[in-house]
Amino acid sequence: MKELIYELEENRSLSKKKWIRLIEGANEELADFLFERARRVQKAYYGNKIYIRGLIEFTNYCKNDCFYCGIRKSNSNIVRYRLGKEEILSCCAKGYELGFRTFVLQGGEDGFYTEEKMCALLREIKKQFPECAITLSIGEKEKSTYEKYYNAGADRYLLRHETYDAKHYRMLHPVELSPEHRQMCLFELKDIGYQVGSGFMVGSPGQTAEHLAMDMLFLEKLHPHMVGIGPFITQKDTPFREKKSGTLFQTLYMLGLLRLMLPEVLLPATTALGSIATNGRKLGILAGANVVMPNLSPLENRKQYSLYDHKRYTKDEAAEGLELLRAEMKEIGYQVVVDRGDSLVP
């Protein structure tokens, strides 16, 4: 099986059949070998730098009803909130003072934030923090809307494709959402000029090694600037509440494979990874990741942005724990840097 890892490292590509074999053949010994190769590639491109992004979860309203998501529109058991322009700018100011040079505005697909409101917000953030990058993660829009956001100051856009396989996508999403449209949005974002992030859940209901292989083939074709993956974690107010969550091991394994396939990509150790294991974030870095996204949202709102159960949102996950993060990364030979942290993907 090691020969497939060498082949992936050399060619940055595998056939679907080989992907399935490599994913199905995962074991602890092979994973240790993979992670060693992934760290070597990671350091060859990015050194020992860990880039931080300030996450601002500014709305938990969403028009969609995805079966796995805690902020789905049908969930009446959560307290809904929206941050105003001044609250968001206050989060940015706090983050800037702490050393953040990228702000990630993440929220549900909330119609309250019109094109006009979002563009005004983007322009104001750029005006106050001109050397900082702005990342949006607010779902599927028309290309014309993406263009307006880009012209107003947005630099990056995160839109996980979640799963490439159409039948599997149907298992996870209501009928009005389609994988084809989501994938089209990603190519449109690249065409506009955004640094684009995609990704998928690991261990979602019904997922097979073949599904993961198709995800890897899609990402090879898209060649995004960032890939965000994390374990599927159940949420008590969704139809998937009784399903089994994804595992730490499989998520780390897929992180290592992604680093070899896309050596220049920015690869976060996600909040979800840190939520299923206290040392999940550290293990993510050691598997090939090089980005961490501490939370800049107001403390009272972090729990309400409940995409999944047992979300890590206080102590070292919170922005206030940045010194803990620095110490944690230093312990394993990495350095948290004050930097926009642009992707090396052209």
- Write out the two tokens for 110: 């909330």
Predicted pLDDT of residue 195: 98
pLDDT along the chain (346 residues), means of 10: 97 98 98 98 98 95 95 93 96 94 97 98 98 98 98 98 98 97 98 98 97 98 97 92 94 98 96 84 96 88 66 55 90 96 96
Q: Is the pTM of this model over 0.85?
A: yes
State the angle between helix axes of 85-98 and 115-128 in degrees (0 to 180), rounded to the nearest 10.
30
Burial class (CB in 10 A: 0-12, 13-18, 19+), 278: exposed
Predicted pLDDT of residue 321: 80
Predicted pLDDT of residue 322: 87
Burial class (CB in 10 A: 0-12, 13-18, 19+), 76: exposed
DSSP state at residue 295: B
